[in-house]
Amino acid sequence: MAANVITASHLTLAYDQGRKRIIENASFSVRKGEFVFITGPSGSGKSTLLKALYGAIRPLEGTLKVGGLDMGKIRKGKLQELRSHLGIIFQDYRLINEWTVEKNVVLPLIIAGYSMEVQQTQAKRLLRHVKLTEQADRYPLELSGGEQQRVGVARALSKNPFLILADEPTGNLDEYSSNVIWDLLENACDQLGSTVVVVTHQLPTMFNIPYRHFIIESKGIYEVR
């Protein structure tokens, strides 16, 4: 049986020093290699949960473990190390606009201190994978939204992360671009064995691999599939 990549037990997440509770007493787990969708209405706490998974907010109560590390007690150095093994995709892409597409893609490799040669080889491979080879030397603002998100996906995949966290990855995209992103994420899970957690307001119409589906509702997290 595969080990849990994420384990939440009686998890409560809140803002304003506990005054504004977003998720209360939630328990769930995600195993290695699973594809998980988390849906829910706007403001239900989907993004908050994702932030907790990469350590941007700490649990108020209960425990949340990511890759075996307790996110409530994790130290700064360990958190940096954990983040360097995650692939994170944002709805608003969060690319560095002063950097070329190629440099954006290899950001995790730059952080990890890989040689220029490794960076270039990996950039070529990833850009081919997301079909952006021609755009390598361009800047993010010169690309369409769909292309920018493909750069975001390539960046998330550049270090073969054990866990990919995607926050509304297709939220700003048309249907064609959305399908391209879903294909890439399916592939990451199916071919590379990464665990993928996607927060989205709507499930994709076409999805080709098995997945689990959680709903966040009334501050609780419930598995519906």
Interacting residues with other proteins (CB under 8 A): 15, 51, 54-58, 79-86, 88, 94-96, 98, 107-108, 110-111, 155
**Rounded to the nearest whole angstrom, what is the least distance from the CB of residue 173 to other proteins in the complex?**
20
CB of 50 to other proteins, least distance (A): 11
Secondary structure string (H, E, C) spanning 47-82? HHHHHHHCCCCCCCEEEEEECCEECCCCCHHHHHHH
Q: How far apart are CA 221 and CA 6, in angstroms?
A: 14
| CB of 108 or CB of 204, closer to other proteins | 108
Nearer to other proteins, 95 or 216 (CB): 95
In terms of CB distance, is 140 or 204 closer to other proteins?
140
Which lies closer to other proteins via its Cβ, residue 58 or residue 138? 58
Residue 82 or 188 having the CB closest to other proteins: 82
Q: Taking the complex as a whole, how short is the minimal distance between the CB of residue 100 and other proteins, in angstroms?
A: 14
Q: Which residue has the tokens 């829910």?
A: 40
* Mode of pairing for the β-strands spanning 61-66 and 69-70: antiparallel
CB of 74 to other proteins, least distance (A): 11
Tell me the closest approach of the beta carbon of residue 80 to other proteins, in angstroms: 4
**∠ CA 144-43-45 to the nearest 5 degrees?**
95
**CA torsion through residues 95, 146, 48, 209, sign:** negative
Do residues 157 and 188 lie in contact, with contact meaning Cβ atoms separated by under 8 Å?
Answer: yes
